[in-house]
Amino acid sequence: MLEHVAAPAEFVREIARVLKPGGWLCARTPAKWGYIGIGARLVPNALHVAFLKKLQPNRKAEDVFPTVYGMNTMAALGHYFDKSEWKNCTYGFNGVPGYHGNNAVLFRLIQFWGWLMPRSLSAKFHIFIQKRP
C-alpha cells in the first residue's frame, strides 16, 4: 500500500501521531525495484486500469489507484522511519506471482526472476516497523 503514498513525510508524521509507543506498523507493499514496481512505473497511471485488466482479469477498476513509489525501497523506509524513533524489521519477499494474466509461462518466468534476484530486488516488502517506547 505504500506505493500510493504521495506525501511520505506527512504519512510518517501521522503514523507517529496515532501509534502508541511500542506499537507496530505492519504492511505489505510492492518494492520499487521488484517486477511489480518496475512494471507499474513503466506504465503511466492513466493506463493502469486497462493494463491490469489483462494481468488480473478479476480486478475491478475502482480498486486501481495511482502509484508513486516514494517509500518503496529499504533506503527510503530508513530515511522516513529514523532509527532513533523506529525499529525497522522490514524484509523482502517473493510470494506467488499475482500479475501474470493466467499465463503459465509468464507465471514461471516471474517465479524464476524471484529466485534469481537478491532480497533487495524482491517483488514485495513485508513491513514491520515499531515505534520505540
Length of the chain as a residue count? 133
Average pLDDT of the chain to the nearest whole number: 89
C-alpha cell belonging to residue 96: 506467488
Plot region of 21 (φ>0 → left; ψ -120 to 50 → alpha; else → beta): beta
Look at residue 13 in the predicted model and tell me its pLDDT.
97
Look at residue 118 in the predicted model and tell me its pLDDT.
77
32-65 pLDDT, tens per residue?
988 888 888 998 989 988 888 888 888 888 888 8
In whole angstroms, what is the distance from residue 42 CA to residue 39 CA? 5
Domain ranges of the chain: 2-131
Q: Does 99 score more than 80 pLDDT?
A: no
Neighbours of 21 (CB within 10 A): 10
Task: For the chain, report the end-to-end CA distance as a whole number of angstroms.
Answer: 25
Look at residue 6 in the predicted model and tell me its pLDDT.
94
The answer to whether the beta carbons of residues 4 and 28 sit under 8 Å apart is no
58-89 pLDDT, tens per residue?
888 888 888 999 999 999 999 999 999 999 99
pTM, two decimals, is 0.79
